Amino acid sequence: MYRNARRWTSRSLLLDSLMPRWLSVGGKGKPRKPAERRKDSAQLAASAQSAEANKHGNLVGNPDHDAALGENDAGQRAGVIGGADAPADIDRAAPSLPYAFKRIGEKGVRGGDVAASVLSAHMPDFARFQGRADGVAFGAESSLQRTYPGMSSIGDDPLAPYLPQSPAPTVSGQDSAAAIGELAHSGKVVILESTPSTQATAHEAGANSLAFGMPFGVCGCGYFTSPARMLDWAHGGAMLQRDGQLPGTRLTEGPDFVSTIKRAIGASISDPLLDRDLSPLSGWRGTASWTESMVFNGSLPGGGETGTASAKSKGIGILSGSVTTPPSPQQRSLTTQNLAAAAAANNIIVLENQKQGNPESEWGIDGAGSSNIEGFATDISVDNGKTISFKINTNSTNYRIDIYRLGYYGGMGARKVHTIQHTGLQTQPNPLRNASTGTVDAGNWAVSASWTVPEDAVSGVYIAKLVRQDGTSGQNHIPFIVRDDDSRSDIVFQTADQTWQAYNGWGGANFYGGNGPATGQGAGRAYAVSYNRPIATRGGVGTVAGPQDYLFGAEYAGIYWLEQNGYDVSYLSGVDVDRYGSLLLNHKAYIDAGHDEYWSGQQRTNVEAARDAGVNLQFWSGNEVYWRTRWGNAYSADATPYRTLISYKETWSPSASIDPSNEWTGTFRDPRLSPPAVGGGNPENSLTGQLFQVDDVGSNLQAITIPYDDANLRVWRNTSVANLQPGQTATLTKNYLGYEWDEAPDNGFDPAGLVKLSSTTVPVSTYLLDYGNTTGNGVSTHNLTLYRAPSGALVFGAGTVYWTWGLSDNHDLTATPTDPRVQQAMVNLLADMGIQPGTLQSGLVAATASSDQAAPTSVITVPATATVGSAVTITGTAADTGGGVVAGVEVSTDNGASWHPATGDENWTYRWSPQAVGSYTILSRAVDDSINLETPSAGRTVTVSGPNYTSLFGAATPAVVNTNDTSAVELGVRFQTSVAGTVSGIRFYKGSQDTGTHTGSLWSSTGTRIATLTFTNETASGWQSAFFSSPVALTPGQTYTASYHTNVGRYSTTTNYFTSNVTSGPLTAPASGNGVYRYGNNSLYPTASFSATNYWVDVMFNPSSSNTTPTAVADAGDATEKGGVANGSGGVVASGNVLTNDTDPDAGDTKTVTAVRFGTTSGTLGATLNGTYGSLVLNASGAYSYAVNESNAAVQALRQSTNTLTDVFSYTMRDAAGATATANLTVTIHGANDAPVLAVQTAGQNATVGSAFSFTLPTTTFSDVDSGDTLAYAA
């Protein structure tokens, strides 16, 4: 959209740095049609400035004859230029440079201050550029030529100090010194090619090249060019200039610009001047010695082609020679930026977006489109080279299908790639309907048209626009994705197509309402929706549906910006990430954008696997990974897989699982029915760093704020945020926070070393109060977040649906300006992921990846002793010596079993309230802004004294910490004990908003208050404890109530918690009527209950007989890998029971396993916990099984049973009274012999009858994964 505002200028970092004072404007001509072209002064496109006298030689802008002349030579000027509108006298001008290079002759340039000496040189001929927008082809030849020293005397060479010297030529004239300085280099060269814009092509402008490197004439007898020289004089005197940061062409007729650079042809693989690996360019590399006529013509080495135009020969010459003296850091930085930008331009997205686009007025539609012509693709995606079909329903007998690829395309946003004409009437049947699920499936429609996607089609999001041509207005869109399954692009962008369909109400129902079978919350919703439907989501067809739930709500803005900046990106659908998840491993980064609420379990597994394999993740999204889905086949007769999206939304029906499969299809975070269902209880922030918290706020969109404490983080480098002063806060453009957003809670699932990059606190009325059922008033704090997985992958979470609105203003809904701070932050973050733009937009700064690999350090200060229930302040300091800053500190009070964020960074504090007697190891770990996480040191030990006790809930935490209820209320829990004992006090879980004085009470079953207490010295949040003046004796089997009173509400809850009895040692909280409350300003006996809600009130109970801590004894198990052919034989699973050898001297005590860990990773009892070489399933009963990972290379390398590996797990067990002990389970993996396999098929051999025959097999014919095996061959 900014194309018409581009400045006609030569100003740029690239040119200003390497070509000081080179370009100047020659003439003030106005644009003319090709037929009106005149050879007048307006054709003087640019000038080459001499080094000494600041004189100019102008290039005449004639596509057939270019002339070089001296500015001060009036006779030559008059002869060439003529009058204001008179044609130039070509005969009197110096010959055009391309033709001059092809001839052997004494041609010179006359100039008032420049001698016209002509030197011979062995010169490559780059004259034959082909002026076509679809490619550039040229030949590289060497022949004895003459050159023009005055033309190339353009100033000092900035790379000269770092290049090897070659013999200097003999020159004469006033500029000889400058000429010699430029001649005396040899080394590498990088060539940038660019294709002209459509306007330029119309004016017969051709392609251009810009060379960084050494002069081609190194034989001591002349020179042609030195670093940063124009190589193309063949088309209108066109010169590379800059459009913001894009190279462009300035025509003689006016300021038309080349859209971007086309291709970089690299120098050596490793070059100190480049300071980066150019191996991706290796296919475009050739070599020429330039000492006579050795050149490469025809096909380039490595199979590279420079274009498809009609030049007779192709070839690239790269001069040899090494850089012997590396530049200083300051100089290298500048050179690196320039040459790295050249290398980045090789990606296919840059090339694609140079092509002529089509305006949105042509490819866009209004809302969901017309109902009189609509359809869908038979698959959401197609690999290039394959065929995709469309099923269309219309009464039109004459319509067309225009296929567009979405992108940047100079601001037009899409490019038409194909058109299909359709004539004749096609009557489609009514779609199928499944009453039990509410699914409408139009897969029974007939195919209306098909498109065979070209092999060279660029991966992208495509739309098939349906257009009626029968005189009746009607248009519609069919979105689909063109994949490139062979792509190794830097970025893979995933669409949120599952969410498009979840909200799509076409046919009668979506996942929120309509005419489906669901009752209760979301009544009328469907349990499954079909991809075999037109998508009407954008037009609001469907309960609560709208543009925010579709492609153009926020995803398109991200696509537009990525391609505008030339990022090397390919595309997959959400379906693809489930079914072709291994493709994610081919890329450096995965990006998810917009409103991506619905994810299948396998999709999440595949993204997590990619992260764990080192693939970086960026979530430019909010409310992401929220509802868990699964896939089914189409209901139509073809039963096509992945065409039915299933989600029973079991969180809305929590009393029993209603999905007939064993898969959980509620919210990912909801643990209530999983197990036995598979897939629940796994909050999304363990992947994204973000947890959905604020539902639809409508138009009440907010602004993200960055306080001073976050301003120095490297993500904000090169932005105004980095300039904040103490006490200041930066506010990004309003509307990016919405329409739904997330939080980054400390809930036990937050990733290690999570760094918060911003902080915005907003009161809302749609705050999620539970696992996904209820919203209400609340105060939300939003943070942008970043963490690093153990694999090294960075994971960014924007935590808001409209984050991409800061990147591009091309989106539906509220018109919102972009923000360069958001754009620069994403450039910075992608650079830290090793990804660079090919065409960085104006105003942004190219960033480099962090070189800081040193983790910060932290020091702990903590009292040596503490008392149960008392608040302890842990303090410390942290420092970073790797060049960054400390970004956060985490503290563990349980020797690393769990971690929680401290307040502050270089100086930090953490408040802790120990809940049981014992010895505690306090650890800290700091993280810096390059997300290097400290390995904790030994830490500090704190001895906690006071009464030991058993509680109902231990260290568990609530689902909702701060409810929206602000009324004074008494909240409690009903409980019983099976043994005699005493209650020493009461504890409750406090949310940060539950302020004021709190009192606690113990009640009999008849409502008599037995004892009371007041909580003092509370921490800001978490478990709070207080003790009665003396312990209270309890009678076994009797029911008691423990409660606390709050004057401000804001208590903590977990709904549907008491669906069954909750037992902990001798204590039991019965399911019936539990979770009690009573409103009032004074403390009253609570008796009311609602939805079996736990209000997180607990007791501290001590059995009358003293309890002895149990002893956990280390366990060992043995497993054996499979062997034989393709792991087809043997294999032993380790199994046993870890409690068998554990002891408890207390008679009748029962032992249970309560926790299992591998290293720093906590597992779930009854679920798989991965070790290094296999996976463990440990149940609460102590029974375990360990399966070897047969895909692990180290396992496969084991050759015999004496070759072993070990995995070590730790588990915690407890007795009936609540005392715990911990021990290790060590599993030893034994090797087995694997059969060798045929690695290379032996070619057929010929033998002669009656003659001896022998043949030696190559050593690479067979291979064996077993380490140390020796292969023997037998005929």
In whole angstroms, give the CA distance from residue 362 to residue 308: 29
| Res. 440 pLDDT band, cuts 50 70 90 | very high
For 1236, what's the count of Cα atoms within 13 Å in the CB-facing half-sphere? 16
User: For 536-565, how does the pLDDT look when each residue is reduced to its tens digit (9 = 90+)?
Assistant: 999 999 999 999 999 999 999 999 999 999
- According to the model, what pLDDT value does residue 1234 have? 79
Tokens of 1269: 């095996």
* Rg (alpha carbons) of the chain, rounded to whole number: 36
User: For 1022-1064, how does the pLDDT look when each residue is reduced to its tens digit (9 = 90+)?
Assistant: 899 999 999 999 999 999 999 999 999 989 999 889 988 999 9
- For residue 1009, pLDDT beyond 80: yes
- According to the model, what pLDDT value does residue 1254 have? 76
For the beta carbon of residue 1243, count every other beta carbon within 10 angstroms: 5
| Res. 1261 pLDDT band, cuts 50 70 90 | low
Exposure string for 409-446, b = 16+ CB within 10 A, e = fewer? bbbbbbbebbebebeeebeeeebbbbeebbbbbbbbbe
- For residue 1263, pLDDT beyond 80: no
Range with the lowest mean pLDDT among 182-196, 233-247, 585-599, 707-721? 233-247
- According to the model, what pLDDT value does residue 765 have? 93
- According to the model, what pLDDT value does residue 305 have? 29
| Res. 1227 pLDDT band, cuts 50 70 90 | very high
User: Please, are residues 384 and 480 in contact by the beta-carbon 8 Å criterion?
Assistant: no
- Dihedral angle over CA of 734, 736, 738, 744, nearest 10: -120
Range with the lowest mean pLDDT among 242-246, 530-534, 828-832? 242-246
Instruction: Dihedral sign for Cα 292, 298, 303, 307, please.
Output: positive
In whole angstroms, give the CA distance from residue 833 to residue 823: 15
Do the domains at 969-1103 and 1115-1230 have one common CATH topology?
A: no
Mean pLDDT of the 89-117 span: 28
Count of H-run helices and E-run strands, the chain: 17, 70
Cα angle 510, 513, 518; round to 5? 100
Q: What percent of the chain has pLDDT over 70?
A: 71
Exposure string for 254-286, b = 16+ CB within 10 A, e = fewer? ebbbbbbbbbbbbbbeebbbbbbebebbeebbb
Range with the lowest mean pLDDT among 36-40, 441-445, 1087-1091? 36-40
Q: How far from each other are the two terminal CA atoms of the chain, in whole angstroms?
A: 73
The strand pairing partners of 192, in sequence order, are: 210, 264
Tokens of 879: 């420092």
| Domain spans of the chain, in order of start | 12-346, 857-945, 969-1103, 1115-1230
In whole angstroms, give the CA distance from residue 1234 to residue 1129: 9
For 720, what's the count of Cα atoms within 13 Å in the CB-facing half-sphere? 11
pLDDT higher for 563 or 5? Answer: 563
Lateral strand order in the sheet of 1161-1162: 1129-1132, 1115-1123, 1220-1230, 1204-1214, 1152-1158, 1161-1162
Mean pLDDT of the 1144-1162 span: 83
Tell which residue, 526, 778, 543, has the closest CA to residue 644: 526
Q: pTM of the predicted model, to two decimals? A: 0.64
Say which residues have a Cβ less than 8 Å from residue 1090's Cβ, sequence separation at least 6: 1075, 1077
- For residue 156, pLDDT beyond 60: no
Most confident region among 269-278, 302-311, 727-736, 990-999 by mean pLDDT? 727-736
Mean pLDDT of the 1214-1223 span: 80
| Res. 664 pLDDT band, cuts 50 70 90 | very high
- According to the model, what pLDDT value does residue 135 have? 25
Tokens of 1227: 């599993």
Place of tokens 């609420």: 597
In whole angstroms, give the CA distance from residue 62 to residue 53: 27
User: For 687-732, how does the pLDDT look when each residue is reduced to its tens digit (9 = 90+)?
Assistant: 999 999 999 998 899 999 999 999 999 999 999 999 999 999 999 9
Residue 730 vs residues 241, 654, 826: alpha-carbon distances, Å = 35, 43, 17
857-945 adopts what CATH topology? Immunoglobulin-like (2.60.40)
- According to the model, what pLDDT value does residue 346 have? 63
- According to the model, what pLDDT value does residue 1239 have? 65
Task: Report CA 1150 to chain centroid distance, whole Å.
Answer: 48
Can you point out the beta strands (E) in 556-701?
Answer: 569-572, 589-595, 598-600, 616-622, 627-632, 644-646, 691-694
Say which residues have a Cβ less than 8 Å from residue 695's Cβ, sequence separation at least 6: 740, 766, 767, 768, 775
- For residue 392, pLDDT beyond 90: yes
- For residue 1262, pLDDT beyond 50: yes
Task: Report CA 1089 to chain centroid distance, whole Å.
Answer: 45
- According to the model, what pLDDT value does residue 875 have? 96
| Res. 798 pLDDT band, cuts 50 70 90 | very high
DSSP character for 1077? E
- According to the model, what pLDDT value does residue 496 have? 99
User: For 409-425, how does the pLDDT look when each residue is reduced to its tens digit (9 = 90+)?
Assistant: 999 999 999 999 999 99
User: Please, are residues 599 and 574 in contact by the beta-carbon 8 Å criterion?
Assistant: yes
In whole angstroms, give the CA distance from residue 799 to residue 786: 11
- For residue 139, pLDDT beyond 60: no
Mean pLDDT of the 771-775 span: 89
- According to the model, what pLDDT value does residue 186 have? 29
pLDDT higher for 814 or 280? Answer: 814
Can you point out the beta strands (E) in 348-413?
Answer: 373-377, 381-383, 387-394, 398-406
Instruction: Dihedral sign for Cα 444, 450, 456, 457, please.
Output: negative
- According to the model, what pLDDT value does residue 66 have? 28
- For residue 177, pLDDT beyond 80: no
- For residue 1166, pLDDT beyond 80: yes
| Res. 1217 pLDDT band, cuts 50 70 90 | low
In whole angstroms, give the CA distance from residue 1123 to residue 1198: 10
Mean pLDDT of the 961-974 span: 89
pLDDT higher for 236 or 400? Answer: 400
Per DSSP, the three-state class of 708 is helix
pLDDT higher for 605 or 82? Answer: 605
Tell which residue, 473, 407, 24, has the closest CA to residue 241: 24
Q: Which long-range contacts (CB under 8 A, 24 or more apart) does 847-850 make?
A: 847/717, 847/718, 848/336, 850/714, 850/884, 850/930
Range with the lowest mean pLDDT among 15-29, 1105-1119, 1202-1216? 15-29
Say which residues have a Cβ less than 8 Å from residue 371's Cβ, sequence separation at least 6: none
Mean pLDDT of the 666-681 span: 88
| Res. 1170 pLDDT band, cuts 50 70 90 | very high
Place of tokens 């296929």: 403
User: Please, are residues 363 and 463 in contact by the beta-carbon 8 Å criterion?
Assistant: yes
Instruction: Dihedral sign for Cα 1259, 1260, 1261, 1263, please.
Output: positive
User: Please, are residues 139 and 315 in contact by the beta-carbon 8 Å criterion?
Assistant: yes
DSSP character for 604? H
Residue type, 545: A
Can you point out the beta strands (E) in 1065-1114?
Answer: 1067-1069, 1076-1079, 1088-1089, 1097-1103
- According to the model, what pLDDT value does residue 249 have? 27
- Dihedral angle over CA of 31, 33, 39, 45, nearest 10: 40
- According to the model, what pLDDT value does residue 1275 have? 60
| Res. 337 pLDDT band, cuts 50 70 90 | very low
| Res. 1271 pLDDT band, cuts 50 70 90 | low
Residue 794 vs residues 869, 930, 1217, 1230: alpha-carbon distances, Å = 39, 9, 44, 35
Instruction: Dihedral sign for Cα 205, 211, 215, 216, please.
Output: negative
Exposure string for 108-120, b = 16+ CB within 10 A, e = fewer? bbbbebbbbbbbb
Class (C level, CATH) for 969-1103? mainly beta
Residue 352 vs residues 194, 344, 569: alpha-carbon distances, Å = 12, 14, 11
Residue 620 vs residues 556, 613, 755: alpha-carbon distances, Å = 12, 21, 16
In whole angstroms, give the CA distance from residue 877 to residue 886: 10
Range with the lowest mean pLDDT among 90-99, 239-248, 931-940, 1126-1135? 239-248
Q: Which long-range contacts (CB under 8 A, 24 or more apart) does 9-14 make?
A: 9/241, 9/242, 10/46, 10/241, 10/242, 10/250, 11/242, 12/241, 12/242, 12/244, 12/245, 13/245, 13/337, 13/338, 14/242, 14/245, 14/247, 14/338, 14/341
* Mean pLDDT, the chain, integer: 76
Tell which residue, 880, 1046, 865, has the closest CA to residue 969: 1046
User: Please, are residues 178 and 193 in contact by the beta-carbon 8 Å criterion?
Assistant: no
In whole angstroms, give the CA distance from residue 1081 to residue 1048: 10
- For residue 187, pLDDT beyond 50: no
In whole angstroms, give the CA distance from residue 921 to residue 650: 41
| Res. 579 pLDDT band, cuts 50 70 90 | very high
pLDDT higher for 992 or 742? Answer: 742
Tell which residue, 464, 457, 192, has the closest CA to residue 339: 192
| Res. 1148 pLDDT band, cuts 50 70 90 | low
- According to the model, what pLDDT value does residue 522 have? 96
CATH number assigned to the domain covering 1115-1230: 2.60.40
Tokens of 601: 């379990």
| Res. 23 pLDDT band, cuts 50 70 90 | very low
